[in-house]
Copies of this chain bind each other. A is one copy, B any other.
Amino acid sequence: MKPVGVLDIGGSKILAGLLSPAGHVLGTRRAPIADRRPRCVAGQAADLLRDLLGARRSALRGVGCSIPGPLDRKTGRVLLSPNLEWRNVPFGCLLSEALHLPVAMDDDARCAAIGEWWRGAGRQARCLLYIVVGTGVGGGLVIDGRPVYGADDAAGEIGHTIVAPSGPRCSCGQRGCLEAVASGPAIERAAWAATTPGRAPFTVTGAGAKLLRITAEQVVKAARRGDPTTGRILDRAGAYLGRAIANAVTLLNPDRVILGGSVARAAAWLWLPRLRQSVRELSLATAASTVRIGLGSLGETAGLVGACWTFMRMEDNGASRMG
C-alpha cells in the first residue's frame, strides 16, 4: 500500500516522514529551512519527501502537512505565521503543485493532539486535551473521536486563555495569557529578570562570566540540580499551566490531558505532579477524579502522525487536491 508523505513545518525546520496509511512511521528526515520564501519551503519539503521515498521505489498516496496556525484548512492557506514571516500564503497549493499530489493541512498543535489520540498516549480517550509547551503554548482537542476545529479552525488555543489578568503582555496583544507566563521564552525572561546584569542567578554550564542569553533548557537543568531561584520560576509557570488546565478540565471533563513540546518534556519531573495537584484542588471533583495527566508517547512525531490522519480523513471524504 502506498505510504503517506507527511510534513511538520516549524519556524526554522522541516520534519518530513513517510507513514503507512494506518499511521505507522516508516522513516523521517529533518532539515533546517534553507530559504523562508513559501515556494522555496514547499520545494525543499518536496525534495525531503522524494529523498525519503527514493529507496522505496514507491509512489506517495498524498501529503499531510502540520503547520503553525492560524490557517484555513479547506484551502490550505496559512493566514499568519510570524516565525516564517508569512501572511496569507496558499502553502497547500504550493505543496500540491510541487508534488503533483493532494495535500491536507492542519494546525500543528491540533495535528499533535490527533496523533497522540490516534496512535499515542491518548488512544481510546473519549475527550482529549493536548497542550504543547515550547516556544509558544498551543493546544488541540479531540472529542468523541473527532478533532474540534471551532468556527474558524481556531479551537484549542489554551495558550491564549488568560490566567494572570495583570500579568505580562503576550505577543497576541493580550495581557496575562498562559503563553506569556509559561512558554519557553516566558521562563527565560523570568530567569533573566532574576539575574544581576551579566551574571546568572545559577551556574550556567558553558557560560562565561558574561551571560548573553539564558535558555529554558538551562533554567530547567538548574532547577533540577536544586537551584532555588530557577525552581521557583519553573514552579510558578507550572502553577499557571495548572490553573488553565484545571478550568479546561471543569469545562470539558476530559479523560486525558497530554503534554508535549520541548519545555513540557524537560520540565515534566516538576510539572506533572504540580499539574495533578492543581487539578485536584481547582477542578470540579467529578472531572478531577477521572482525568489522567501525562506526557505524550510519540515525541516529535506526534504532528506527523496527526497529519497522516488528517490526510486519510480527507481522502475518505472524497476531497481532492487543493488549488
B-side contacts of A248, CB under 8 Å: 251
Chain A interface (Cβ < 8 Å from any Cβ of B): 70, 126-127, 139, 141, 143-144, 146, 148-158, 160-162, 165, 172-174, 243, 246-248, 250-255, 282-287, 290-291
Residue of B nearest to A150 (CB): B253
Q: Closest approach, in angstroms, between the C-beta of A317 and any C-beta of chain B?
A: 14
A-B CB proximity, top 4 nearest: A150-B253, A151-B255, A161-B247, A155-B253
Among A246, A250, A253, A282: residue with most chain B CB under 10 A? A250
Residue of B nearest to A173 (CB): B285
A252 interface neighbour in B127, B148, B285, Cβ under 8 Å: B148
Secondary structure type dominating chain A contacts: loop
Are A157 and B253 within 8 A (Cβ)? yes
Are A251 and B143 within 8 A (Cβ)? no
Residue of B nearest to A160 (CB): B284
Q: Closest approach, in angstroms, between the C-beta of A67 and any C-beta of chain B?
A: 16
Complex Cα distance A246/B157, Å? 12
Are A127 and B155 within 8 A (Cβ)? yes
Complex Cα distance A162/B251, Å? 10
Q: Known: A144-B146, A243-B162, A246-B162. Contact between A155 and B251, CB under 8 A?
A: yes
Among A126, A148, A252: residue with most chain B CB under 10 A? A252
Residue of B nearest to A158 (CB): B251
B-side contacts of A252, CB under 8 Å: 141, 148, 150, 155
Residue of B nearest to A246 (CB): B162
Complex Cα distance A165/B163, Å? 10
B-side contacts of A154, CB under 8 Å: 253, 284, 286-287
Complex Cα distance A285/B157, Å? 11
Q: Closest approach, in angstroms, between the C-beta of A251 and any C-beta of chain B?
A: 6
